[in-house]
Structure 1
Amino acid sequence: MKMIRKTLILILFVMISVASMVTGVFAWFIGSPGGFVEPISGDLETDMTIDIQIDQSEIFLGDRVRDLVYITDEDFQTVGFDFYGYGAILAVNLQNSGDQAMNAKLGLYAQSAPDYGIYAGVNSGFKYLVVDSPFSVTPLMWGFQQTSNMFDAMNAHNANGVLVPANSSSTAYIIIWGYYDGLPSGQKDIYHAVVYRMRMTLFG
């Protein structure tokens, strides 16, 4: 009888722990009401540590990216545009505990958020770039602008992943911009209030 009681208490504890994790780890990406007034500092970071030995992981981000700046198609095509200054930066610490170097492939996706109604953000409302250093954003974006479709070039770059040497850790940086032209028509007048419930995926 005591064993059954202990087992029930343990099950209840695990259920409460899981419920706490599910309700406490959403990320909100909140648009800026004055997208072109001031460049944001782009200094958001997280202490997240991920072991990339797993084949795939899905993580609900627990940080907030505030003042996400929305830029347009014209901005993306403008040579010399300050992509670094207008980007929010999410830093992710990647730990490789294996004996071989691996590529960590990170992705960001907007989760369905019907409780936000018309303010629920969608994947087409933002763009992002995964880099091993924030200072490489400017030359990379210039190179993408020279291609026939810079968004395809950005996606191809993200698919390459970030190299993490064996038995060591590396920091990957996800640079995020709001994409005004990708917003649904009903959100273009309220872009500053759009909220994204985000999920990050990792392939090792």
Structure 2
Amino acid sequence: MENKKITVDIFSDFTCPFCYMGKKNLYDAIDNLNARDIVEINYRAYELDENASKNESVLKYDYMQKQEPNKPLGIIMAETRDIIDQGKDLGLDFNYDIMLTGNTNAAHRLAKYSKTKGKEKEFINKVFEGYFTKGLNLNKEEELLKIIEEVGLNKEEAKKIIDSKDFSEEVAQDKYDAFQYQVQSVPFFLFDKRYGASGKQDVETFEEAIKKLADFNKIDLP
């Protein structure tokens, strides 16, 4: 008989700092409970700005100011400093000085491709780190393909995916599911397709959720 698992669907986008932090907290909670064998993570694509340019990338601060033209740059920078501090507390480095905007569709489709090869987690981790820490340009094909190679996947296969519409249906399905589950902001964590939590959440909250679901599903934690 197949062992029961707790499923966690994570709706997130690669340009969302709270998605990066929330994912880190979830995995820390899983590790604290030694629950990797009983928690199954499903990454779900959520494009925060589907209309973001696929050709032109601008500095994140400039993009944020354009999105909220009535908000002084000083306030925007103060808000990002708070995010930077939150990231540091989790061991994550947010480098807004070199962060670029970009369209995330190609990255999401490559994540779907990497899942078919058993490399989804590794690819997603590197995209998050690249975007928030190293100035990864999501609009640059060669930068995405470099990550593909780093996780041990075929660069030529991935290039064909970027240049086509491959895996667009999977991304569209995630968008439809997000609508069905009334996801209005990310990160959004869906436990066992029944219980939802919006926002990055802390480690303790995730631990409590996993414990309760394990008890409900009659799954013994290690």
TM superposition score normalised by structure 2: 0.29
Look at both structures and tell me which one has the larger radius of gyration over its CA atoms: 1
Higher strand share: 1
Higher helix share: 2
